Structure formats: structure tokens, C-alpha cells
Copies of this chain bind each other. A is one copy, B any other.
Amino acid sequence: MQHPHLLITSAGRRAKLVEYFVKEFKTGRVSTADCSPLASALYMTEDHYIVPKIDEVDYIDHLLKLCQEAGVTAILTLIDPELSLLARSAERFQAVGVTVVVSPYAACQLCFDKYTMYEYCLRQGIAHARTYPSMESFQEAFSIGEVSLPVFVKPRSGSASTEVRQVETFEEVEQLFAKNRDLIVQELLVGQELGVDAYVDLISGKVTSIFIKEKLTMRAGETDKSRSVVREDVFELIEHVLEESGLTGPLDFDLFDVAGTLYLSEINPRFGGGYPHAYECGVNFPAQLYRNLMQQVNVPQIGQYMSDVYMLKHDTVTLVSAAELQQIKR
């Protein structure tokens, strides 16, 4: 069996995660790619590549060529907008011997369309904040007292939490819809926010790891401090959510615990920004991915980690000279 050579694309600022991969792929190889030479994660791997922006027409062609030239055998992206793109091109990569580590296209779309996700939860009997896909449906629910202000107004698709806003008045909801019809209105949940990292084995399709953390503080849209917890009810919910979803590989969930009832808030079908907490507590997704790429099945080990451990994020720095920047392969 050939040792895997993983290319991590849109590596960005996620240097710590790339370091974990380098450590776990000792007998394999890890390379990185990004459109900017100022992406710190590039410098965690010996081989790193500057590639076009993901919205450029030749992006996939460029990646395919790069994979062939560099002997890449698997590809993984760290950002949402690239997931569907790679999922749609999975066959082209497969044809040149490259495994795309991504959920199927339909499963990615389920995660990115907030109203489709709500309907999925209704069907599966999973608690979810009430969600309205239009001004009319919100107005009707509001008039019969099914939902009350304040509410969240968010773009129906898209992952930018910067565009999510809490709205206090009915008039403001109307104004937002007047400017942009592609919004949803969501009931405001008040409770403890939980972040969950899960891994679904690429070969068996079974959930092999679930790690739960209470989110304590956020910074720049990411979990900055969190606390690990072990909860059977969360394990059960995640397994139930995943049953019919088709999702696979590394996944990130946001939940709310509202007085003991668990609400699913969203699923990101990729490594979450808070994953280092799971890794440091012994929940090792890079090692599981390595085994999958070696055609080995992982044994489920749900809940095997330390509870009540706090993760504190802080900054470190990488220095790069202008001369080094100019030498990067393009």
C-alpha cells in the first residue's frame, strides 16, 4: 500500500491543525495550498503551493495538475465555500487517483441551506430553532404568536457569521427582506452553546469519534476558550442526526442546550475552528484519516476522552522574509 500524500487546500491561518497532520502523517506526506503567500499554515509543511482563488474558473484544473505533478493522493479543504466545489469534482480527482475527503455534494448542500436543514430536522424529529424562509411565513407565525421578537436574521445560505444579526423590531425584519429576499428568520434560543467534533469513517460510514465542548468565549467568530464535557444525550443526538445525512469525514456541529433540551443549530462538514481542543484531549482525526487513506477501517471510540479540560487559544507567530515569499511554487 502506497503511503498517502495529503494536500490541504485553503489552509489559511490553521497552522496548528496542519501541524497535527504533519505529526500524524509521519510515514506519509502533507503539503498545503492557499491563494495567499501570507497564509501562515503554508509554512508548517515543507512543500506548499500558491494556487488561484477558489472562484477562478481554472481552479480545479490547476489543482488536478498540481496533484499529478506532486504525487498527491488525497485532498482536504478547510473552508466552507470550497467543499461543494470539491464534492462536485470528486470524480475528476478520483480518475487521477486522488481521494477527495469531503461529504457528497447533496450532503454539503443540506448543511449550507439553513431552511433545508430545518426541514431535515423536522422530518427526523430533531429539535431546531423555528425557521422562516420568507417575510410572509414569518409574519404569519408572528401574528399567531408562534415566534416572538427578538429574532435572528441570517442569509439563507453562506457561512459568514458576520452577516447574522439579532433584530428587535418587526419593521427591521421587513427592511432587511426589502433589501435582500434570500434571508431566513430564526427563533432566538437562549442556552449553553455546545461545539461538537465528529468523525465519520470514510470506509465503514460509521461515526467513530464524538467530542463535546461547552463554548465559553468567542473571538473573531471562533471559539477562543472551551471546556470538554462527556454527555450521552449529545452522543445520541449526533448519531441520530448523522443517520440519514450522508455526511462523512471530519465534521463540526453547533448545538444549544436550552434547559436540558438539545437543539441542533448548524453543521459544518469540515474541521471546526475549535478542533484543537479535541485533538489535545486525544480525539485524533488526522490519525483516523491516515488509516482510512491506507484502506483501514477505524473502530468507534465514542466518548473516550477527558471531561472537564479547558482549552485556551492564544497567538504565536511565524516570520517569513520577502525573499522566501518569492520562492514559493506557484
Binding site for B on A (CB under 8 A): 13-16, 38-41, 43, 216-217, 219-220, 224-225, 227, 276-277, 280-281, 306, 308-322, 325
Contact = CB atoms under 8 A, between A and B. Distances in A.
Contact of A276 (B15, B43, B277, B315): B315
A181 to B, nearest CB: 25
One complex includes copies of this chain to the number of: 2
A315 B312 CA distance: 10
A38 B214 CA distance: 14
Contacts of A281: 319
Contacts of A321: 306, 308-310
Given A219-B220, A220-B219, A220-B220, A38 B310 contact: yes
A15 B314 contact: yes
Contacts of A311: 317-319
A149 B325 CA distance: 39
Given A38-B216, A216-B38, A220-B220, A309 B319 contact: yes
Given A38-B225, A216-B38, A220-B220, A312 B317 contact: yes
Nearest to A320: B310
A224 B39 CA distance: 11
B315 A15 contact: yes
Nearest to A217: B38
Contacts of A308: 321-322
Given A220-B220, A308-B322, A322-B308, A41 B314 contact: yes
A318 B309 CA distance: 10
18 contacts: A13-B314, A13-B315, A16-B314, A16-B315, A38-B216, A38-B312, A219-B220, A277-B319, A280-B317, A281-B319, A309-B321, A310-B321, A311-B317, A311-B319, A312-B317, A312-B318, A313-B316, A315-B315
B325 A317 contact: no
A317 B317 CA distance: 13
A121 B221 CA distance: 37
B315 A320 contact: no
A37 to B, nearest CB: 9
Nearest to A227: B322
A15 B316 CA distance: 8
A68 to B, nearest CB: 29
Given A13-B312, A313-B315, A313-B316, 18 more contacts: A13-B315, A38-B225, A38-B312, A39-B312, A40-B314, A219-B220, A276-B315, A280-B317, A281-B319, A308-B321, A309-B319, A309-B320, A310-B321, A310-B325, A312-B320, A313-B317, A314-B317, A316-B316
